[in-house]
Amino acid sequence: MTSLTNPVIPGFHPDPTICRVGDDYYLACSSFEYFPGVPVFHSRDLVHWTQIGNALDRPGQLRLPPGTPSSGGVYAPTLRHHDGRFWLIVTNVQGDGNLLVTTTDPAGPWSDPVLLPGVRGIDPDLAWDADGTCFCTYAGVWQVRIDPHTGRTLETPRRIWSGTPGAQAPEAPHLYRIGDYWYLLIAEGGTERGHAVSIARGPTPSGPFEPCPANPILTHRGTHHPVQNTGHGDLVQAPDGSWHLVLLGVRPQGGTPGWHVLGRETFLTRVRWAEGWPVVDEVPLDLPAPGWPLQPPAPVATRDDFDLAELGPQWISLRCRPPESSTTTHRPGWLSLSARGPSLDGLDATFTGRRQQHVRCRARARVDAADGHGGLAVRLDDRHHYAIGHAAGQVSVSARIGPLRTVVAVRSVPPGPVVLRIEVGDADGPADARTGPDSVALGVEEPDGTFTALATLDGRYLSTEVAGGFTGRVLGMYALTGTVHFDWFDYEPAA
């Protein structure tokens, strides 16, 4: 039997939402303060996923104000297919609030957004009944009928279920018609270790809803399972009639309390039905083939030589990507980043990267900083990042950990471009209850390919347990002054 490893979409890909059209599955995730927003993926087997675009990839669709904080921005989309179109509803918490975009091709382009000022909560969901009435259900759990073409609400919102008594934060609702019932799936318990998935059912889209007697139908809280914080699920039925759940989870590493650094990732598990209720399997570490032939995995582009006019969909930038600050046409075959702010600490930092997707990995780039100061960074947020920069014949390693900023190491280098490298590996030192999740080595690649680390730093300080928030690490390139040019960027998992 073919086996693959969960998560099916590793790295900072939280709040998954899924729909199937024929033999094709489409999935979208939250993106928070990064532009473009809402990555969109395609699969034929629920296991191998390829990013085909981003739903919000134009400034007119995604307005992230300059003051958008880390872990602000775009929260929790719902992706559905109805009446020949794909519909995606999502919340921009610092910008336009709830908005809705549509397309006939999920690879894009998606429409300009329709705003929904009458929907005043996060985590919006869309569902249509048999007569075409559209119901928007959102965190709380509240519901209102809407006109999805205009964004107009058609009634006063009403609360339809509060989740399990005593469980905090009923959110991430998804509403489905399955058989004789309407099922309302939610997350509750908070998005930390207490996270869980619960469900209720009723005769109409608005209830009344009876909770499943086995709630929560999925949680790993209070267990030693290596996947924790399990929640925010979405159901999908395969062509063979089997059911599955995509959900978010984290992989804590190291000692107590466990540190997760990749953010909340997308996992997959099986669902069975018993007495009219879904029974969800514990999230497996190895995925058996889902009952039909697995598709061959798409090749993963680990290196980008920046030969195309546009960056690929995997590249994300902070809050915006003005053409004057990020271009591959200024110096063909190079990515040129021009500084907008003097520090990675600021909300105006020029930074473009890709999500760290492996527990152990390396990132490398050939950098020409003759016209500025820039380099490589591993970023969790604006107050937690490590960087190795090149300027004026020197490379230097710097660290920002909460209120502390420091230059850790400096080395002179010959004139001309230099290859900078970040390696994420095992934690330094003997293991005990206090051992961090990993170590982050930052340094220079010598002409013969050997790596000289200028500093090796504790990875726990770039973890959610230290920094808080909802995102994961992003490895990428930055400019602090002038214009910095990058010949190529290479990312690969480490053995």
List per-block mean pLDDT (blocks of 10 residues) for the chain, which spans 495 residues. 74 98 98 98 94 97 93 98 98 95 98 97 97 98 98 97 93 98 97 97 98 98 96 97 97 95 97 97 79 52 91 96 94 97 94 96 97 97 98 96 97 96 92 92 95 97 97 98 98 89
Q: In terms of domains, do 282 and 336 share one? A: no
Contact 196, 188 (CB under 8 A): yes
Contact 375, 478 (CB under 8 A): yes
The answer to whether residue 441 is domain-embedded is: yes
| Confidence (pLDDT) at 24 | 97
| Confidence (pLDDT) at 293 | 47
In this structure, what are the phi and psi dihedrals at residue 459, rounded to the nearest 5 degrees? -75, -15
Cα separation of the two ends of the chain: 24
The answer to whether residue 16 is domain-embedded is: yes
Q: In terms of domains, do 348 and 411 share one? A: yes
Rounded Cα distance, 51 and 17, in Å = 14
Q: In terms of domains, do 481 and 450 share one? A: yes
Q: In terms of domains, do 19 and 160 share one? A: yes
Contact 373, 480 (CB under 8 A): yes
CATH of the domain at 69: 2.115.10.20
Strand pairing class (152-153; 158-159): unpaired
Rg of the chain in Å (alpha carbons):
23
The answer to whether residue 270 is domain-embedded is: yes
The domain boundary residue, chosen from 233, 260, 288: 288
Rounded Cα distance, 232 and 197, in Å = 7
Tokens standing for residue 111: 């429409």
The answer to whether residue 448 is domain-embedded is: yes
Rounded Cα distance, 145 and 126, in Å = 10
Contact 353, 463 (CB under 8 A): no
Q: In terms of domains, do 204 and 315 share one? A: no
Q: Give CA separation, 462 vs 31, 157, 199, 466, 467, in Å.
A: 18, 40, 34, 7, 7
The answer to whether residue 294 is domain-embedded is: no
Q: In terms of domains, do 259 and 324 share one? A: no
Rounded Cα distance, 458 and 436, in Å = 7
| Confidence (pLDDT) at 302 | 85
Domain range for residue 139? 3-288
CATH of the domain at 310: 2.60.120.200
> DSSP labels for 212-281?
-TT--SB--TTS--SSEEEEEEEEEE-TTS-EEEEEEEE--BSSTT-B--S-SEEEEEEEEEETTEEEEP
Q: In terms of domains, do 357 and 402 share one? A: yes
The answer to whether residue 293 is domain-embedded is: no
| Confidence (pLDDT) at 292 | 46
Query: 371 in helix, strand or coil?
Result: coil
What single DSSP character describes residue 467?
A: H
The domain boundary residue, chosen from 259, 288, 317: 288
Q: In terms of domains, do 67 and 216 share one? A: yes
What single DSSP character describes residue 464?
A: H
What single DSSP character describes residue 465?
A: H
Rounded Cα distance, 236 and 241, in Å = 10
Q: In terms of domains, do 322 and 204 share one? A: no
Active site members? 15, 171
Q: In terms of domains, do 369 and 226 share one? A: no
Rounded Cα distance, 204 and 130, in Å = 11
Tokens standing for residue 211: 């909770």
Query: What's the structural domain count of the chain?
Result: 2
Answering whether pTM is above 0.85, one says yes
Q: In terms of domains, do 282 and 418 share one? A: no
Q: In terms of domains, do 379 and 477 share one? A: yes
The answer to whether residue 137 is domain-embedded is: yes
The answer to whether residue 297 is domain-embedded is: no
Distance of CA 465 to the CA centre of its chain: 17
| Confidence (pLDDT) at 2 | 43
Query: 466 in helix, strand or coil?
Result: helix
The domain boundary residue, chosen from 288, 322, 355: 288
